[in-house]
């Protein structure tokens, strides 16, 4: 029976703007999502996903992380289920799928951990079943599972609009160093973050489709995109933005405090919360500076619950590392 091992990288948001809703006066899009303009960036911190064909006709998921479910609510499971539904003949031919998730990405952290696992399963099953799907076909399938899944397939650096599934690749940003901070026991629910934002700031949403399209297009010529094209890490760091900080930071004082500690360290180019949090990241020009700041933050916040990672930007999404 054939098997594949895949690397499934996490992402950070260099930019996240909630620009409105496209539903003509309703408070959300008809599908319940908000209209976003984001810049997503793959990072080296990754899970490893192993997929293999099994002789029984079912889907099995194993995971080394106690908080991650292994039933039908796991996004990796749902990705396999989707492939079974879409390609019943291949399923009949090759049988069931066993998925092993070696989780290194913090869970419910704003780092797209579940989404990147789902993307890896789509890529892995495409290979197992010799389907020959194109990247855009994989992204389209991914979009039915979650907004961040399409980006996770190809990864790198991209503008994401709509609910995050409409992607425009940007020149890739290699080797900007990053420190990530995440309190192990602190999880932020993504639906809670958006709901709270809507309740507090929904009055400022753009509700007209033409203006919404214009705003989404404007992101393409925005200052941070120019900085990315110029590969100017300092300028990118100055232009980081995340609307969800407005609701998550006041509700989670430890996260706010961690962000302030990061911002006050020497060598930090810029700092921001990723996605719906609670992970905070800081950008650096060198790995040495990042390692140094990790040590300083560890000394400044004497809390064993705080996990700190040094990582960096990478130029790829799901990558096959071995096949047997
Ligand atoms: P995003 O940045 O896309 O909003 P996230 O990083 O905030 O995602 P995840 O790590 O994907 O959040 O986890 C969100 C929830 O999804 C968790 O509470 C977890 O129980 C559940 N979950 C389901 N499948 C997975 C998976 N494969 N990996 C991690 N969490 C999963």
Asked if the bond preceding 51 is cis, omega within 30° of 0, the reply is no
Is the Cβ–Cβ distance between 173 and 228 less than 8 Å?
yes
Instruction: Judge if the beta carbon of residue 28 lies within 6 A of ligand 1.
Output: no
Range of the domain at 258: 1-324
Cα separation of the two ends of the chain: 8
Q: What's the predicted TM-score (pTM) here?
A: 0.94
- Note if 11 is an active site residue: yes
- Residue 290 has phi, psi (to 5 degrees) of -65, -45
Digit-coded pLDDT (tens) for 121-158 = 999 999 999 999 999 999 999 999 999 999 999 999 99
Q: Identify the bridge partners of residue 31 per DSSP, sorted by sequence position.
A: none
Here the tokens at position 32 are: 């319940």
Is the Cβ–Cβ distance between 288 and 249 less than 8 Å?
no
Separation between Cα atoms, residue 187 and residue 145, nearest integer Å: 21
* Confidence band of 302 (pLDDT split at 50, 70, 90): very high
Separation between Cα atoms, residue 248 and residue 118, nearest integer Å: 26
Q: Identify the bridge partners of residue 168 per DSSP, sorted by sequence position.
A: 159
For 123: left if phi > 0, alpha if psi spans -120 to 50, otherwise beta; the answer is alpha
Instruction: Measure 193 CA to ligand 1 centroid, in angstroms.
Output: 14
Instruction: Judge if the beta carbon of residue 161 lies within 6 A of ligand 1.
Output: no
Q: Ligand 1, residues 46, 108, 110: which to mutate, most atoms within 8 A of Cβ?
A: 108
Instruction: Measure 114 CA to ligand 1 centroid, in angstroms.
Output: 4
114 is in an annotated binding site: yes
Is the Cβ–Cβ distance between 5 and 59 less than 8 Å?
no
* Confidence band of 25 (pLDDT split at 50, 70, 90): very low
Q: Which of 18-32, 170-184, 301-315 has the lowest mean pLDDT?
A: 18-32
Query: Hey, whose CA ends up nearest to atom 31 of ligand 1?
Result: 114
Written in H, E and C, the secondary structure of 135-203 is HHHHHHHHHCCCCCHHHHHHCCEEEEEECCCEEEECCCCCCCEEEEEEECCCCCCHHHHHHHHHHHHHH
Among the options 11, 103, 182, 294, which is catalytic?
A: 11
* Confidence band of 217 (pLDDT split at 50, 70, 90): confident
What's the confidence (pLDDT) of residue 208? 76
Here the tokens at position 42 are: 């793959």
Residue 174 has pLDDT above 90, yes or no: no
Digit-coded pLDDT (tens) for 253-298 = 999 999 999 999 999 999 999 999 999 999 999 999 999 999 999 9
116 is in an annotated binding site: yes
Instruction: Judge if the beta carbon of residue 49 lies within 6 A of ligand 1.
Output: no
Separation between Cα atoms, residue 303 and residue 141, nearest integer Å: 41
Digit-coded pLDDT (tens) for 38-68 = 999 999 999 999 999 999 989 999 999 999 9
pLDDT, mean over the chain: 93
* Confidence band of 188 (pLDDT split at 50, 70, 90): very high
> CA nearest 46: which of 323, 321, 267, 298?
321
- Residue 205 has phi, psi (to 5 degrees) of -65, 150
76 CA closest ligand 1 atom index: 27
Instruction: Measure 65 CA to ligand 1 centroid, in angstroms.
Output: 12
Is the Cβ–Cβ distance between 147 and 276 less than 8 Å?
no
> CA nearest 150: which of 303, 38, 72?
38
69 CA closest ligand 1 atom index: 20
* Confidence band of 27 (pLDDT split at 50, 70, 90): very low
216 is in an annotated binding site: no
Neighbours of 65 (CB within 10 A): 16
103 CA closest ligand 1 atom index: 28
What's the confidence (pLDDT) of residue 214? 85
Query: Hey, whose CA ends up nearest to atom 1 of ligand 1?
Result: 112
Q: What CATH number is associated with residue 51?
A: 3.30.230.10
**Looking at the 3D structure of the chain, how many domains does it have?**
1
Query: Hey, whose CA ends up nearest to atom 26 of ligand 1?
Result: 114
- Note if 148 is an active site residue: yes
């Amino acid at each position: 029976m054939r098997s594949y091992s895949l690397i499934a990288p996490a992402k950070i948001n260099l930019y996240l703007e909630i620009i409105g809703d496209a539903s003509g006066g309703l408070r959300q899009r008809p599908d319940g999502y908000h209209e976003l303009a984001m810049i997503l960036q793959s990072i080296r911190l990754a899970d490893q996903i192993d997929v293999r064909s099994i002789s029984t006709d079912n889907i099995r998921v194993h995971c080394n992380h106690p908080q991650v479910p292994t039933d039908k609510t796991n996004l990796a499971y749902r990705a396999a289920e989707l492939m079974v539904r879409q390609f019943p003949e291949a399923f009949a031919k090759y049988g069931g799928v066993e998925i092993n998730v070696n989780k290194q990405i913090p869970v419910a952290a704003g780092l797209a951990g579940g989404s990147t696992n789902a993307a890896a399963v789509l890529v892995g099953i495409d290979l197992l079943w010799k389907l020959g799907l194109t990247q855009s076909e994989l992204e389209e399938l991914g979009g039915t599972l979650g907004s961040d899944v399409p980006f996770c397939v190809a990864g790198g650096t991209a503008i994401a609009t709509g609910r995050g599934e409409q992607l425009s690749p940007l020149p890739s940003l290699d080797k900007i160093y990053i420190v990530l901070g995440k309190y192990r026991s602190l999880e932020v629910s993504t639906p809670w973050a958006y709901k709270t934002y809507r309740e507090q700031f929904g009055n400022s949403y753009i509700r007209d489709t033409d203006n919404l399209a214009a705003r989404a297009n404007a992101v393409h010529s925005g200052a941070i995109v120019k900085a990315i094209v110029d590969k100017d890490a300092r300028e990118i760091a100055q232009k980081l933005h995340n609307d969800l900080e407005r609701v998550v930071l006041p509700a989670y004082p430890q996260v706010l405090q961690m962000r302030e500690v990061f911002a006050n360290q020497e060598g930090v180019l810029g700092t921001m919360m990723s996605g719906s949090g609670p992970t905070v990241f800081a950008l650096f020009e060198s790995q040495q500076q990042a390692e140094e700041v990790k040590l300083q933050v560890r000394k400044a916040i004497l809390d064993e619950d705080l996990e700190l990672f040094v990582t960096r930007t990478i130029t790829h999404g799901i990558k096959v590392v071995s096949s047997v």
